[in-house]
Structure 1
Amino acid sequence: MDRISCSALLVWLLGAGGITNAQPLPGPAAPASSYAPVRIEEPFDQTQRRLTQAKPAVMQAHREYLAERYDLTDRPAADVTMSGGKPVQQGVRVRLRPGVTWESLAALSPGEIRAQDLWPAGFRPLPHPNHPEGGMLFPPAVIAELQRQEQRDLARFDLDFDLPDHFLPEFPAPIFLTTRADLGDVSRGQVVTLENYFGLFNGLLNPKQLEGLRLLLTPFPQQQFNATDDRRSVRPSRGVACFDCHTNGHTNAATHLAGDARPQAFRHRVDTPSLRGVNIQQIFGSQRALKSVEDFTEFEQRGAYFDGDPVIATKKGVNVLDRGSQVQAMAEMQALFDFPPAPKLDVLGRLDPQKAAPAELRGQELFFGKAQCVACHAPPYYTDNTMHDLRTGRFFAPVMVRGAMLTTDGPIKTFPLRGIKDSPPYLHDGRLLTLADTVEFFNLILGTRLTADEKTDLEAFLRTL
């Protein structure tokens, strides 16, 4: 049979002939890759329709998972607010296994906790709402305000932000400047954007700082928000700005996945850190240990905006900043954001006995003593400007949950504790919703075996910072 006859027979067999469900022979499995696909095979309208239809089920599954980890009810403390007046949530929200108490858990060794699988789910890494997908997610208040002021839409058609508003920093947050401490909050109760920054800060900042602020407020292309067909916004997007996450030089708890690790399951969720107190810090990024705020600023726009993938960044529109002028101006502006006032602290960062309550003074004694907090968080700003590995893997075996490999965390930056009540949720990925959760977490991590009363006193001290 000649070649033409063979071809005709094959066409008949695979088409109108007897092999009606023929499939191509399987090829070799695709190798793991560090790179995101550059060429998108599916038309954008199909991607949008598919992911929009899947969104309700994805978010419902994630909400159910969060409810398994936490008590998410709104229970504000009666006697403490953030610097702008938003109530602070009280109480431990991490759920324990039935029959387990915090006291019984603290009596066990890390090995016993791991062997009995008792480490609370809420103390394990917090997955992204859709970890295989990842990407920047903004709280509803942020999306609404930028839509109102700039007609710029940061909503995603495939995912919504996951944590309830009462566990987030106040919005808008007050702005305190190191150069004008006499003025107090200079935000005038507004969210600072390109629409209003000049009117708010002309006369308070020098020209270089004003230019730095303008750049911090300017949107540039990002992985999920760009003008290509590989985006998660309905319309082509101008992108995101630094202050879309760091609203008013603070944080709004917008979340993302760190671009440092591969494969996707091992990437860590990132809770946006505050820019308050940048001037006294020596390393930047929760786990990256970048050595200057200039490095951090440039890295964010060149790398973190695009999941650490410079190939995809070229496609989507990377913003290459000039180091000597633009980056430096942005860094100088960031260094002006100060911690909020702490009227009970003296110039050395300790409580003034004439102003502090007895519980707060007892908490300070615990902080510098039995609780061992000062080993990492030294006054006056309550940081040692280094990194520590908490070795959380002592307490639980790695497990895959919702597409995320929940495993040990590795080294984490020591964030300053000044103004800590203004910056929930806590830890680098936001897994600890309240200060009470944070006290319980470190009581187990450090093995300090605090009593219930001591935990309450320690939290009272943290609120004064």
Structure 2
Amino acid sequence: MNFKKKSIISCIVGLSLIMGATSVAANQNLDPKKVFQPLGEMPIPADNPQTPEKIELGKLLYFDTRLSGDGTLSCASCHEPTKGWSDARRTFLGFKGHRGARNSPTIINSGYYSLQFWDGRMKTLEQQALGPIQDPGEMNQKLDVLVDSLKAVPAYVERFNTVFGENSINPENIGKAIASFERTIVITDTAFDRYLKGDDKALNDVEKRGMQLFAGKASCISCHNGSSLTDNNFHNIGIKDEDKGRAGFTGNPEDLGKIKTAALRGITHTAPYMHAGSLRTIEDVVEFKNKGGDGHPNTSPLVRPLNLSDKEKGELVAFLKSLGGTLPIVEKPELP
């Protein structure tokens, strides 16, 4: 199915969810098991099965500054474990202090995504892993130089041989190893997830009312739906800035300012929010959504003033915070 067709289908689904949201809002007996889906198992590509040895190799590469052109940056430089696997900056800081235009997206649960990056320009984690390495503004490393650098380290040669076979240090396998490690960075047991599994006390009454608002009056579920609470699609939510969004990749003016819908598990650990880090807190996000955006000319019809009361905004914030879960922490390994 091509992207245009998928977008049309998603829009129809979104509009139907909004129309259904009114009835959900009116229905105080929301059955979350009929509205929300469990996260399920991490999807693993057939050509890149998980193994402990591959995951360990990927972890070494993830933290290794050899992956950058001047030996100062690693994947962890912008995606730090203790900072929500992001960097707590509005926008990323790259090669030689280059200030990027976008926020470093968290890698938490990124293995569930069908497209990677804010504009969706890459389909897989394997492709995504190699993108920042080569980008002049991010890590600025040539892949052939990186391959030669790793081949000069006996411990890496041994590990690649064990995982992929003889003479296997190449860009494809570097991407596969890093992606395998990133698929282990997950948040799956939030208070919300425990509630869906039958623990009625996992959410308090305020959070439950926020969940009803999320699925009803606030219509968050029109985009944050499915098992990962993202439609894996792209919307212009009304942020008025110069970012072309999806259009910068597709060249389609209809995609101007459209950004991939963020998944929500781990949200309490990943501030600031939005593609340019323009909103500092979850409360700021709810306030932005409540007013219907900043007036971007290509704002999605799904975005509109919500007219939430202060009490309702507080309830919605409480529900979103129930999606935080426990931050997975990985210590930097001893590098070869």
TM superposition score category, shorter chain reference: 0.5 to 0.7
Q: 1:327 to 1:368 in 2, by over 3 A?
A: same
Query: Greater Rg, structure 1 or structure 2?
Result: 1
Describe the superposition over 1:302-332 as per-residue Cα deviations: whole angstroms up to 9, x where unpaired: 12xx1289xx766x99636823322111111
Q: Find the counterpart in structure 2 of residue 414 from structure 1.
A: 261
Show the counterpart of 2:306. Answer: 448
| SS of equivalent residue, structure 1 residue 252 | coil
Deviations 1:346-398 (A, max 9, x none): 4758x8543322211111110001111001111532111121122434xx8x7
**Are 1:212 and 1:332, in contact at CA under 8 Å, matched by a contact in 2?**
yes
Letter in 1 for 2:275: H
Q: Distance in 2 between matches of 1:288 and 1:355?
A: 34
Counterpart CA distance in 1 for 2:269 and 2:171 is 32
Match of 2:76 among 210, 230, 243: 243
Quickly say closer, same or farther: Cα 1:383–1:318, change in 2 above 3 A.
farther
Cα distance in 2 between the residues matched to 1:356 and 1:301:
41
Aligned 8 A contact 1:389 1:410 in 2: yes
- Is the CA contact (8 Å cut-off) linking 1:302 and 1:319 kept in structure 2? no
May I ask how many residue pairs the two structures share in their alignment? Answer: 227
1 CA distance for matches of 2:266 and 2:226? Answer: 13
The alignment partner of 1:332 has SS state of helix
Percentage identity across aligned positions?
Answer: 27
Could you say which residue in structure 1 is the equivalent of 2:111?
Answer: 279
1:423–1:362 Cα change, 3 Å:
same
- Structure 2 distance, partners of 1:385, 1:341, is 21
Contact 1:390 1:409 in 2 (8 A): no
1:210-289 matches, cutoff 5 A: 210-220=56-66, 222=68, 226=70, 238-248=71-81, 250-254=85-89, 255-256=91-92, 269-289=101-121
Displacement of 1:241: 0.6
Q: Structure 1 residues 239, 258: CA separation in 2 closer, same or farther (over 3 Å shift)? A: closer
1:71-150 pair list within 5 angstroms = none
Tell me if the contact between 1:353 and 1:361 (Cα under 8 Å) persists in the aligned partners. Answer: no
Q: Within 2, Cα distance between the matches of 1:289 and 1:415?
A: 15
Residues 379-458 of structure 1 correspond to what in structure 2 (within 5 A)?
379-393=226-240, 410-444=257-291, 445=293, 446-458=304-316
Secondary structure of the residue aligned to 1:363 is: helix
How far off is 1:257 after superposition? 7.0
Report 1 or 2 for greater relative contact order, CA contacts < 8 Å, sequence distance ≥ 6: 2
| Structure 1 residues 325 and 435: alpha-carbon distance in aligned structure 2, compared to 1, 3 A threshold | same
Instruction: Structure 2: state its 5+ residue gaps.
Output: 1-40, 43-50, 148-168, 243-254, 294-303, 324-336
Return the offset for 1:207.
1.2
Whole-angstrom distance in 1 between the partners of 2:137 and 2:172: 25
Q: Do the aligned partners of residues 288 and 319 (structure 1) sit closer, same or farther apart at CA in structure 2, a change above 3 Å counting?
A: farther
Q: TM-score, normalised by structure 2?
A: 0.59
- RMSD in angstroms over aligned alpha carbons? 3.4
Gap runs ≥5 in structure 1: 1-177, 180-204, 227-237, 399-407
Which stretch of the first structure deviates more once superposed, 339-348 or 409-418? 339-348
Q: How does 1:6-405 map to 2 (within 5 A)?
A: 206-220=52-66, 222=68, 226=70, 238-248=71-81, 250-254=85-89, 255-256=91-92, 269-303=101-135, 306-307=136-137, 319=146, 322-339=170-187, 341-346=189-194, 348=196, 352-393=199-240
SS in 2 for 1:253: coil
Q: Which has the larger helix fraction?
A: 2
Higher normalized strand content (fraction of residues):
1
1:6 corresponds to: none
| Distance of aligned partners of 1:422 and 1:243 in 2 relative to their CA distance in 1, 3 Å threshold | same
Compared CA separation, residues 313 and 247, structure 1 to 2 (3 A): closer
Contact persistence 2:195–2:202 (CA under 8 A): no
Contact 1:246 1:272 (C-alpha < 8 Å) held by counterparts: yes
Q: TM-score, normalised by structure 1?
A: 0.44
CA contact (8 A) 1:257 1:270 kept: no
Given the superposition, is the C-alpha separation of residues 375 and 440 from structure 1 closer, same or farther in structure 2, using an over 3 Å criterion? Answer: same
Indicate the SS of the match to 2:108: coil
Any idea what SS the aligned residue of 2:262 has? coil
